[in-house]
Amino acid sequence: MAGKKETDSRSTENRIKLFDSELKLMELLWANEGATAKELAVLAADQIGWNKNTTYTVIKKLVAKGAIKRTEPNFVCHSLITREEVGRDEARKVLRSFFGGSVKMLFSSFMADGTLSDEEAEELRKLIDEHSRS
CATH code for the domain in which residue 39 is found: 1.10.10.10
Same domain, 59 and 22: yes
DSSP 110-129: HHHTT-S-HHHHHHHHHHHH
pLDDT: is 105 or 80 the higher one? Answer: 80
Residue 88 lies in a domain: no
Residue 92 lies in a domain: no
Q: Is 115 a residue whose pLDDT tops 60?
A: yes
* Confidence at residue 86, expressed as pLDDT on a 0 to 100 scale: 92
The SS3 call for residue 2 is coil
* Confidence at residue 107, expressed as pLDDT on a 0 to 100 scale: 80
pLDDT: is 22 or 134 the higher one? Answer: 22
Look over the chain and give the mean of its residue pLDDT values, rounded to a whole number: 86
Burial of 115 (C-beta count, 10 Å sphere; 0-12/13-18/19+): exposed
Residue 40 lies in a domain: yes
pLDDT: is 72 or 114 the higher one? Answer: 72
Same domain, 71 and 28: yes
pLDDT: is 21 or 89 the higher one? Answer: 21
Host domain of residue 134:
102-134
Q: Among 2-11, 13-22, 37-46, 96-105, whose mean pLDDT is lowest?
A: 2-11
Residue 55 lies in a domain: yes
Q: Is 31 a residue whose pLDDT tops 60?
A: yes
Q: Is 97 a residue whose pLDDT tops 80?
A: yes
Residue 93 lies in a domain: no
Number of domains in the chain: 2
* Confidence at residue 131, expressed as pLDDT on a 0 to 100 scale: 85
